Structure 1
């Protein structure tokens, strides 16, 4: 029978001790919205195209969504009204009344956009408190607690580095890459209309890199380009909540801090995703396989866990109330700060 923990039992996961569990693991089996065996399109990367690894037995594994990409998809949910009260609302104003949330900053509290505001000093102080006071993360949690959930590295300043507590990745197993070809035909005979000469057309037609081809004036073939993949094995989303890393956090009230951060991590890990990763890659749960959730102990034993997203959200709200969510802030982008920071970066590199 799956174990349905009480709030007090979830609290106990944050307490030090050899009997404490080390992780929560969520596994979701996915499938293309078109059905099993339908082609799907992974992300492409400069220089390599699709990220497909080949194992020793010849099995090919494709990365559909990386750890960083998954974090960037999950973190902004805390802007939604359903979750917004769990974290401080921190926005940077810029330009003509434009705003960007810190939840959208790729490096979180370590992002350059934060250093270009009046938050620079409080953030540096928070990172220094973490470094000097044995992992005291209270100030970080008051400023931007998702930096604790999804990890942050203040690589441009204090070098404080906090690991991800929630790690999620989507992979497809036993894949075969496909290719596709296409032909572009211009709607008009531009050479016949004296836009350019027949000789110029013959010189550039069929050459994708030529000037006329790039501007869409001549016939251009596209042969053997990326056509997606077909997965004969599982398409799987694996999510891990690292409870060991959680228990390394300290605070002014360590128990309240850990419970608060755990609540956010549970909400992030169990939040439903729409599965639309990119054009040609929309995934849904496989109804015949579904999902599994397990509590993992130090000795490797695994216990099936029953913890719904609504339960996680209720726990997170109660923990947030005990810890005290930090204040909302709206700060302005400061061009002068940005200029000084950019020059400082050059000096450090030198």
Structure 2
């Protein structure tokens, strides 16, 4: 087993003939234990995302790539990682603020277009498109390089994810559940409305009285989670080829800086509480294992020490130079103008 060192990480960033990826496979269990019911995310018009494979196996998405990225990224707001990236806070409303690290589409988010950062972000994207130079992106929003970004409403610049994480459950059995809403009182008996109105509204979730909670409403056979008869697995991949394609002013320092951030993100333990009814922990019967994947498919097990990774990331951040801390404000006028631009394009298109 290879013990990860700073020199080894440097080589991953610098050697164009080096390995293609780092990969972690981690088995998870519900806190209730094997066979416990877990609730996948529910998507509009789809329900649970369950695929039927050719052999009849049902494969469920428990946490998507995008969702995992959005869970991991905010670690850079907290110690000891907060010094590794520029902290940009956007104020809005009545003394409220949100970090750029919480914007789901990162530097391509509508939130960024609604602040004074918009012009700077556009210049950084254009520099990447025109010259392949990612240095301004790294100074402004380096996690956009780590987790990927697509400026789909602007320059169309697209940078692939370097860190990708996803959780899937194998051989799942979907379940259903039923419920019955019962009002606290018989409101028709208290003359809030008539008995006839009550009879017409009960059992009809779309009726106004049902929506306001005044009558009985059944909820039969709604999605009730899944039982995984196979493993629940988290796969984390660090794409070293995508990393080494990053270039720009002081390209080597840039790549080492971004790789340091990628490794910090990759070693962070999974957020166990994914949603109501889905609390997952590592399966200690099957320890997680990092592998270094070579160009010919060779897989070398790695032994990683968190302190080695964090020290490397800190050194690389210091050498590259972390962008400045910023405080900007949400600008309603900019947001309205962006909406008008979208309406105009829609009419023209």
TM-score (norm 2): 0.97
Q: Give the Cα separation in 1 of the matches to 2:289 and 2:5.
A: 19
Q: Is the CA contact 2:71–2:271 (under 8 Å) kept in the aligned structure 1?
A: no
Aligned to 1:137, which of 134, 138, 144?
134
Give the structure 2 partner of residue 266 of structure 1.
263
Is 1:335 the counterpart of 2:342? The answer is no
Give the structure 2 partner of residue 209 of structure 1.
206
Give the structure 2 partner of residue 160 of structure 1.
157
Distance 1:176 1:252, change over 3 A: same
Q: Give the Cα separation in 1 of the matches to 2:14 and 2:283.
A: 36
Q: Give the Cα separation in 1 of the matches to 2:38 and 2:313.
A: 35
Give the structure 1 partner of residue 21 of structure 2.
23
* Structure 1 SS opposite 2:184: coil
Q: Is the CA contact 2:5–2:308 (under 8 Å) kept in the aligned structure 1?
A: no
Give the structure 2 partner of residue 96 of structure 1.
94
Aligned length: 347
The 5-angstrom pairing of residues 265-344 of structure 1 reads: 265-344=262-341
Is 1:347 the counterpart of 2:344? The answer is yes
Task: Report Cα offsets for 1:249-300 as digits up to 9, x if no partner.
Answer: 0021111000000000000011012310001000000010121100001111
How far the C-alpha of 1:45 sits from its partner, in A, is: 0.6
Task: Report Cα offsets for 1:23-70 as digits up to 9, x if no partner.
Answer: 000111000001000101111011111110010000001111000000
Q: Is the CA contact 1:138–1:252 (under 8 Å) kept in the aligned structure 2?
A: yes
Q: Give the Cα separation in 1 of the matches to 2:243 and 2:40.
A: 32
The 5-angstrom pairing of residues 58-69 of structure 1 reads: 58-69=56-67
Task: Report Cα offsets for 1:138-194 as digits up to 9, x if no partner.
Answer: 000000100000001111111111000000000010000011111222221222222
Q: Give the Cα separation in 2 of the matches to 1:263 and 1:77.
A: 14
How far the C-alpha of 1:14 sits from its partner, in A, is: 1.2
Give the structure 1 partner of residue 78 of structure 2.
80
How far the C-alpha of 1:313 sits from its partner, in A, is: 1.2
Aligned to 2:119, which of 115, 118, 121?
121
Distance 1:206 1:342, change over 3 A: closer
Q: Give the Cα separation in 1 of the matches to 2:74 and 2:229.
A: 33
Q: CA RMSD in A?
A: 1.2
Unaligned runs of 5+ in 2: none
Q: Is the CA contact 1:42–1:65 (under 8 Å) kept in the aligned structure 2?
A: yes
Unaligned runs of 5+ in 1: none
Distance 1:290 1:252, change over 3 A: same
How far the C-alpha of 1:82 sits from its partner, in A, is: 1.3
Q: Give the Cα separation in 2 of the matches to 1:282 and 1:22.
A: 32
Give the structure 2 partner of residue 227 of structure 1.
224
TM-score (norm 1): 0.96
Give the structure 1 partner of residue 107 of structure 2.
109
How far the C-alpha of 1:199 sits from its partner, in A, is: 1.7
Give the structure 2 partner of residue 50 of structure 1.
48
Q: Is the CA contact 1:88–1:329 (under 8 Å) kept in the aligned structure 2?
A: yes
